[in-house]
Chains A and B, each alone.
Chain A
């Protein structure tokens, strides 16, 4: 009789454990699926509206199309081989082909990436990052690229730049992965290097390779509808909670820290940019406010799950001023036509954020890094680990070099095969009509 009771306690305990596990899994999975949807919302409609409003009216649809088409194209790449190249175990640069066609990526969790959520949840969450990254580049070649060239460029760029970069920083055994055995441990919580430096630096290369738009900077090229851009930027701000807080891969306290840091970074950066503008031009502007908030969101991205709220405010504020300086003074000084400032905001903000992450990361926020004895390791300079700044710098250099070299090669290949730039006639007519046979605004209808 005694033995019987012990057995029943045992089985009841097991049932309680299973229930607790399933409750945690339910909470985490709910947040991660929500986050995945939020990150998709950043591309469409967020980025599509933000960029669409900034171009001239004859290019509004083609610019939105750059974002929208990628929601479809990158999804197919991801399903066939993208997820495997990025997240399957492999060498330190590429994943192998074990997840080809998403083989084995189902509801059973993958403990390396998220022990409490279905592996497929992690897969679909990461897909949304792969979509927005090339969409960010489109800001640099808007208003003058051929649509076919944009498609070809993006397929090659995702394959050669994004998938390996994601593997290096977040994949198991990746070169820069601080948590899963990388030899240059880098702190990049939600994609400062992977998403923003790669896209921003590639954007600069695209702007330089394609050359200026016809008439730039002599003809006025005012944003045609800033109200669209404001809506888009605010959707980006909200979506970014999924991007950064979702990168905790759990509905945890760490997700809350990242959520707070993200919001603080965006707010301080909006103020920083508007203040700089106020001093320089005498008026703070709506466009300045939204540009600043995006710059802050970019800069806080790598830091979001590692820093406390006040460093987050500081990082955001510095990013607002720094990116303002990049898109006004630096761009004017060198004269490149980065149409929508993809480099000035994402390249510059991403680089600043990656370096400052090495300064302000602290194990008071993120105790995920432990030595073999299980002791929590210091993270950034303020934890007494100045060497981390050097690691961050190395990762920045690797991202820049990969982005520059690969983007140049890809552009050259696309250029000699199908041609990159629209003809002068197509460009003057506007890409909406010349590439897609439609117009954004029709008065008669």
Chain B
């Protein structure tokens, strides 16, 4: 099994969700995060006080999939999340030891 962790632009969340749904990936976890890569931050001004904001809002999607589907899933996420500009985000892939469905003790890929 593989865990996919994708950091994407917040406004791309719906498109990524749709494309995962289209290839039958049902389980995922989404969180709002902040961070930066090569994208520069921006300046905010409040009553004349200037703040450099370099931690930008991003969305992190996590999902665990069978090994065989890795290529297909990363491709689906990347093509849905891409704008071609700096700040589009990254996809990380981890090896997963095991999984367990809490409801009925299914384990391994059967638990996904």
Binding site for B on A (CB under 8 A): 217, 220-223, 277, 280-281, 283, 285, 287-288, 291, 324, 327-329, 331-332, 341
- A residues less than 8 Å from B44 (CB atoms): 222
- B residues less than 8 Å from A287 (CB atoms): 46-47
Nearest-neighbor residue (CB-CB) of B51 within chain A: A220
Contact of A281 with B51 in the complex, beta carbons under 8 Å: no
Binding site for A on B (CB under 8 A): 44-49, 51
Q: How far is the CA of A288 from the CA of B47 in the complex (A)?
A: 7
Nearest-neighbor residue (CB-CB) of A328 within chain B: B48
- B residues less than 8 Å from A285 (CB atoms): 45-46
Query: Measured between C-beta atoms, what is the minimum distance from A430 to chain B in Å?
Result: 19
Q: How far is the CA of A222 from the CA of B47 in the complex (A)?
A: 10
Contact of B45 with A281 in the complex, beta carbons under 8 Å: yes
Q: How far is the CA of A255 from the CA of B51 in the complex (A)?
A: 44
Q: How far is the CA of A222 from the CA of B51 in the complex (A)?
A: 8
Q: Sorted from nearest, which 4 A-B pairs have the closest CB atoms?
A: A328-B48, A220-B51, A281-B45, A327-B47
A sample of 25 inter-chain contacts (CB < 8 A) reads A217-B49, A220-B51, A221-B49, A222-B44, A222-B46, A222-B51, A223-B46, A277-B45, A280-B48, A281-B45, A281-B48, A285-B45, A285-B46, A287-B46, A287-B47, A291-B47, A324-B48, A327-B47, A327-B48, A328-B47, A328-B48, A329-B48, A331-B48, A332-B48, A341-B47
Query: Measured between C-beta atoms, what is the minimum distance from B85 to chain A in Å?
Result: 22
Query: Measured between C-beta atoms, what is the minimum distance from A191 to chain B in Å?
Result: 24
Q: How far is the CA of A280 from the CA of B48 in the complex (A)?
A: 9
Residue from B44, B45, B47, B49 having most chain A Cβ neighbours under 10 A: B47
Query: Measured between C-beta atoms, what is the minimum distance from B36 to chain A in Å?
Result: 15
Q: How far is the CA of A285 from the CA of B46 in the complex (A)?
A: 8
Q: How far is the CA of A280 from the CA of B44 in the complex (A)?
A: 13
Nearest-neighbor residue (CB-CB) of A345 within chain B: B47
Q: How far is the CA of A192 from the CA of B95 in the complex (A)?
A: 69
- A residues less than 8 Å from B47 (CB atoms): 287-288, 291, 327-328, 341
Query: Measured between C-beta atoms, what is the minimum distance from B108 to chain A in Å?
Result: 32
Nearest-neighbor residue (CB-CB) of A327 within chain B: B47
Query: Measured between C-beta atoms, what is the minimum distance from A47 to chain B in Å?
Result: 17
Q: How far is the CA of A223 from the CA of B44 in the complex (A)?
A: 11
Query: Measured between C-beta atoms, what is the minimum distance from B3 to chain A in Å?
Result: 25
Contact of B45 among A217, A283, A331, A332 (CB under 8 A): A283
